Each structure stands twice: as structure tokens, then as C-alpha cells.
Homo-oligomer: A and B are copies of this chain.
């Protein structure tokens, strides 16, 4: 490719709103341009990288036995209704109506579509297992897009769906995909950590996220030093240390409490430890249920865990209004004790206690009245939760589940996910069955597996760059060689440079970007080459004679080599 004719040349300045290094470099080097927020053009350089990433994934998926196909991106909305996902995905789903008044969902993920095409065949147990995948556009009506390719509203995803006879067969495929994903990312130079994560609106019982450790990553996760355990903050578990369980239960007592409404105000007033205070957070869910979540004062509520425990789809904080007029309590003074007796009769209230309330005794906190607190609140005796479980947010420094080490907090870029779906879709969708050995109809046991192509591309740039530009790993680089021609106004040099270019590309079928510009200075060409980040820089000039200056982008050393040598070491 002649650089003079390449569409998408380098520019000096990054967009003023670009904060991420991958966003800045991909923009400046001419790989991407924004259409509207969160929707990107892949320019020719960017598309070359995207195609290479896709090809690596394709080969590994095929090698793992999966089969590529392609589904429409307009999904009949009736399918999403069949699994109730029109409700559970909320606002991120985009919908459209055609001229015949038929409604479609724009592909978010494609579980229903794949089940729909599979059920058209009514497979037998002999046809199973199989794993079918596609590279297909996905749409997310995100409220906020992030700069560059990390959180976008439209992107290519490799999404795969496995259909198995039973859990045992599925587990093999889950392991197979796990290993395949590890290989895929490693081959692009990305070391990934596999963390337990939340399945969001996908469904199923467990799933794992593949993250590339990075300070700018959106996935916060907790892990042990040797990563025996690693989990997204949304699901991370930890061990609650026991506090004062040897204390005797003291009688419940109401006390004056002229204090502010924060936890800190309670600590200051009563001069008791934070952990002994009960933290009460009142939510309202999408069905209008009031959910009073309570937890030890030194922990925070994890809303994702709370949603799972209560089967809520979305939660919002109750307003002061609601606390006063519907719950008849007082903001900052809510208490689980006696709350069921004071609320409006038409209100459904669910009291949810974190497991940590079993690690303390004689807790203090609000009394459902302004400026009144209760001392010596004890679970079972003074309040009885409707639900008890793990609704706490793990933090760095907390004890690991095995109590042997402290959790460490890290951030990472989510590049892939694997999900156990089990019967989540096959039991909700009609005829999602296969014929077993005895002629009986059985639902599929399923899994699904996604990789975001653009996000993987951005993660590579986040990992591989220096202050001058990108440093592409060889197998995803847009070109292998960046040939810089200097002194091209000298006819002799020009002839040599074009000969080298033609030999490399036409005779030896190697990928070369040739900076053939005649009016551009050597300094500018060097800077552009560093910015674009192609693995091997070749320089031909008056001074190089019949040799070529070769420099690897990630090394300082410059060699003067013959073309034969370069070609020989490249094939």
C-alpha cells in the first residue's frame, strides 16, 4: 500500500475529549474515526487489524470444533418476548418496526435467534453436541459511550452458542472454550485473567469474564495474590470476620440521638465502632416492592447481589418522601426492628439481611423515629429477615473465602465472556428440544461465548504502546513492514525504493506500507512510523546503498541488511 494513497493519514492532535491512550493513538495514527458518540468507522488501517483479529479467532474457534454461521441482526421481538428478555434487558435493547408493523430487536446478543434456528431442525442426540458461532454486529443503547473502542454502541462480536445433551457434555465444551479463549488472547499478546462475573441479562447460573489487567479498565475485580480466586466486584465473595460474638445479648434500648444522618454521625455520637452499627438501605424495585437491605456498618451493599437474592430486575433508592409517607420511618434513622408494624398496609416490604449481621451482637442504629436510636439490636430476637445471604460488596483487604489471605483489588478490560446457560433458554422457548436415545424430547443444555473485536483491538493498544505510538504485535499488525523512502526526488533512490516495494509485495506477497511521499521530511516519516506502530521499519535512502536499514518497532537496534536477508527471515 502506498501511504500517499492510504485513506486515513496521521494527524497531529487527538480529539480534545480523548482521555484513553488507545483512543488517542488509534485516532492520531488513522485507525478509527467517530461517526456519532459510540459508533466508529474503522479506517483502512483499523479494518486490517480488525480482520486479523477476526481471522485469529475464526481459526481457533474452528480448531476447537465450532462452526461459523450468520444470523440476521433484526431479531423478531416475539423471540425476545418468549424468554422475557424484552423486560430484563431494559433500556439497552433497541427496537424497530418495519412497514408491515412487525417489531424487531436490534441484536444485543443472539441466544433466542440461535435456539430458534436450531429448533427448526429438531435434532437428535446424535447431532449433539455442537457449537455454532458468528461474527455479527451488536447494538447497545448505552447511556454513556466511552472514548474510543472500549464502550461503544455498535460493534462486531464473535458470539458462539453451544448445544449439549446434558451438563456433563456442556462442561467439557465450557472448558474447551475457556482454553480456546486463553489461546486466542495469548496469541495476540494479551495475558488474561479469568474472573467469575455476573451474567447480567444473559441468564444462566455462572459465567466468567476474560480481562486484561489495566488501570483504565472498567471491570473492577478482587483476587488473591496467586489468583486462585478472581471475581468481578459484582459477584466477589469474601469471608466476614467475626466481631463480638462472645458478648452476651443485652436488652434492646431506645436512646436519644440528636445526630446527622450518616453512619459517621452515629459513630461519633455513640462512640461505638462502625462495624457494630447497622447500615440500612431502602430500595424500590421495578414491581414497586420496597426492599430494606441491612448490613454491618463497615460493609457496603452490592446491588447486583441484592437483585439476584430478591429476583429484582432493577433497583432505585427510595426517596425521603417515600421513607416518611409510605414507610413512616425517618431518613437516616431506619431500623429493621418493628418496621413491618409501621408501614402502609398496601406496601410490600422485603427485609434482606447480609450474612455479616451474624458476626456481630448488640448492634446499634436508627429507631424509625427522628433523633432516636436503638441499642442492642440482635438478629432473630429483634428483627427477622425475609431473606438472608451475601449482599455485601467485597473490597481490597477483606479476607478471602478460605480465610488464608487478603483480597487484592485490580482493574481490567473485559475482552471476552463465557456463560453457562443451562436450561435458561431451552426451557423458556417452545420446542427447544432434541430427541434422546429413547425417543424422548429433552431440552438442550446450553452455553454462550462472546468476544468483542473492537474492545480487544483497543486492549492491545492499551497494552502495547510507548510515548511515540502504538507497537503492534506481529500477528495483528495492519502491515508487517513499514518501508520509508527518503530522498525520493533522487531518481536512483526512487527506483531502488519502488523495486524493493514491488519485490516485497508482488514477488514475495509480503505486507508493506510504503511511505512514498516526496514532500515529507525524514523526521515526519519516522514519527508517523512510530505512531502507526508497524513491527518492522525499513528505510531506503541515499545513504543505504544496496542495503536496507531495518529496525523493529519495539527495539532500539538498527541493522543494515540486504533485501534477500530480510525476505529470507520473513517467510
Alpha-carbon distance A5/B143, docked complex (angstroms):
42
A8 touches B121 (CB 8 A): yes
Known contacts: A74-B139, A154-B74. The answer to whether A67 contacts B7 by CB under 8 A is yes
**A154 vs B73: C-alpha distance when bound (angstroms):** 8
Q: How far apart are the CA atoms of A113 and B74 in the complex, in Å?
A: 21
A35 touches B73 (CB 8 A): no
B35 touches A72 (CB 8 A): yes
Contacts of A127 in B (CB 8 A): 4-5, 7, 9
Our pick among B70, B75, B137 for the contact of A73 (Cβ within 8 Å) is B137
Q: Tell me if A226 is interfacial: C-beta within 8 Å of chain B.
A: no
A50 interface residue (CB < 8 Å to B): yes
CB within 8 Å of B: which of A24-43?
33, 35-36, 39-43
Contact between chains at B39 and A74 (CB < 8 Å): yes
Chain A facing B: main interface SS: mixed
Contacts of A65 in B (CB 8 A): 5
Check A76 against B35 for contact (C-beta < 8 Å): yes
**A342 interface contact, C-beta 8 A:** no
Residues of the B chain whose Cβ atoms lie less than 8 Å from the Cβ of A50: 70
Is A451 on the interface with B (CB-CB < 8 A)? no
| Interface residues in A113-160 (C-beta closer than 8 Å to B) | 113, 116-118, 120-121, 126-127, 130, 132, 134, 137, 139, 141, 143, 153-154
Please tell me the number of chain A residues within 8 Å of chain B, measured between CB atoms. 58
CA distance A43 to B117 in the complex (A): 9
The reply to whether A91 and B99 form a contact with Cβ atoms under 8 Å apart is yes
Contact with B along A54-80 (1 / 0, CB 8 A): 000000000001011111111110000
A331 close to B (CB within 8 Å): no
Q: Which partner residue on chain B sits nearest A100 by CB separation?
A: B143
Asked if A6 CB lies within 8 Å of chain B CBs, one says yes
Least CB distance, A290 to chain B, in whole angstroms? 27
Cβ B99 vs Cβ A96 within 8 A: no
- Which residues of B lie under 8 Å from residue A98 when comparing CB positions? 94, 141, 153
Q: Is A47 an interface residue (CB 8 A)?
A: yes
Contact of A137 among B6, B7, B137, B153 (CB under 8 A): B137
A73 to B153, alpha carbons, bound, how many Å? Answer: 11
Chain B, Cβ-Cβ closest to A79: B35
Is A377 on the interface with B (CB-CB < 8 A)? no
A535 within 8 A of B: no
| Residue A225 lies at the interface, judged by CB distance under 8 Å to chain B | no
Contact (Cβ within 8 A) B68 A51: yes
Q: What is the CB-to-nearest-CB distance from A56 to chain B, in angstroms, rounded to a whole number?
A: 15
Which residues of the other chain, B, contact A94 by a CB distance below 8 angstroms? Answer: 96, 98
Which of chain B's residues have a CB closer than 8 A to the CB of A69? 7-8, 41-44, 46-47
Interchain CB contact under 8 A, A40 and B72: yes
Residues of B within 8 A of A212 (CB): none
Most buried by B among A71, A74, A113: A74
Q: Bound state CA distance, A39 and B100, in angstroms?
A: 14
Residues from chain B with a CB closer than 8 A to the CB of A1 are 67
B68 adjacent to A7 (CB under 8 Å): no
Given contacts A9-B121, A35-B113, A51-B68, 11 further A-B contacts (CB under 8 A): A7-B132, A8-B69, A36-B76, A41-B72, A41-B117, A42-B69, A42-B70, A44-B68, A47-B69, A50-B70, A137-B137
The 5 A-B residue pairs with the shortest CB-CB distance in the complex, in nearest-first order? A39-B72, A44-B67, A42-B70, A96-B96, A47-B69
Could you write out 25 A-B pairs with CB less than 8 Å apart? A5-B127, A6-B130, A7-B67, A7-B69, A7-B121, A7-B127, A7-B130, A7-B132, A8-B121, A35-B116, A35-B117, A36-B76, A41-B117, A42-B70, A47-B70, A47-B134, A73-B137, A73-B154, A74-B139, A74-B154, A91-B99, A94-B98, A95-B96, A99-B141, A99-B143
